[in-house]
Each structure stands twice: as C-alpha cells, then as structure tokens.
A = this chain, B = another copy of it.
Amino acid sequence: MGIEIERKYLVTGDDWRTAAHAVIPMAQGYLNDTASLDSGAQKASVRVRIQGGQAFLNMKSREIGHTRQEFDYPIPVEDARALLALCVGGLIDKRRHLVEHDGLLWEVDEFLGENAGLVVAEVELEHADQAITLPGWAGAEVTDQVRYYNLALAAHPFSRWSSAERG
C-alpha cells in the first residue's frame, strides 16, 4: 500500500514530445461501475492495466484530490486481457511519455480512441506542499477535476465533452 500525492495539468503545445525519453503504450479499464463510485456506494476504484509487456491490478481509494491510498499488484498479461473483457464503461487507450523536468519525472498521457485530443501531465510528489517548477508546456492545473480522472474518461470520454466541459 502507498499514499499517492500527485498533481495533474493540461498540456499545451508539442514541446514535451522532443523531451520525452520513453513512450509506453497502455490499455486499461475498470471493474467498477462509475455511477456507484460517484454516489459513494463504492469506496475504491479497481483498475486493470496492460502497459508494454506487463500487467497490473490497481486499487485507489476514492478521496478527491491530491492524496489517495493506492494498491498495485502485478498480474499475468493473459489474466489482464480476460479481466479487461469484464470491465464496465469504456476502455482507455493512451501513450504515456516520460519526461524529466527540473529533477522530477513527468508522465505525459496522450489519449487515443474516444479520448483523442486530450493530453494531460502528472507529476508525483513526496509531500503535499512540495514546491515544483512547471515546464513551459504545463497549462491549467486539473488535479481536483473529476472529469479528468481516467475512471471518468472511460465512462464519459473527451470526444463527448461539451464546450463548457472542455473549458
């Protein structure tokens, strides 16, 4: 079990592409019903993820914001494929680009499929009030905006957002 402290930003422009030192294809889905999570009828998301040649089962407590309990377990890729078929809501396809900036590792997620057009960057911190230097391509912070959660993007993808939701 870990406590996850992370901040999430929209990404502007393409300068991050040349700075990336690795790209990891990812497919993921959720075994939970999103509506139940929203309503508080469930307390944790249950995610299945295949990334590169590995697969993981991940649980996160549903507290909104920077700090959540997180549990992550490696599972066989074959199991993950079968579990993805048991997921509800849509599946998420994305490419994760790893970018170092000012001593921190940023994960720039370029979404594909029904979420194409959306690019967000996350950085994991050691403590909640840690000062960070934002890269030039980091735009508005969206850490606390639920619609940018992968769980929400699976159920209500970016291609179906209203202009108000796109901000």
Contact = CB atoms under 8 A, between A and B. Distances in A.
Interface stretch (A6-14, A42-50, A93-101): A42-50
A83 B59 contact: yes
Q: How big is the A interface, by class? A: 20 to 34
A64 interface: no
Nearest to A81: B1
Given A32-B31, A59-B83, A75-B71, A88 B41 contact: yes
A83 B46 CA distance: 11
Interface string A27-59: 000011101100001111010000000000101
Given A31-B32, A31-B59, A57-B73, A42 B88 contact: yes
A36 B41 contact: yes
A86 interface: yes
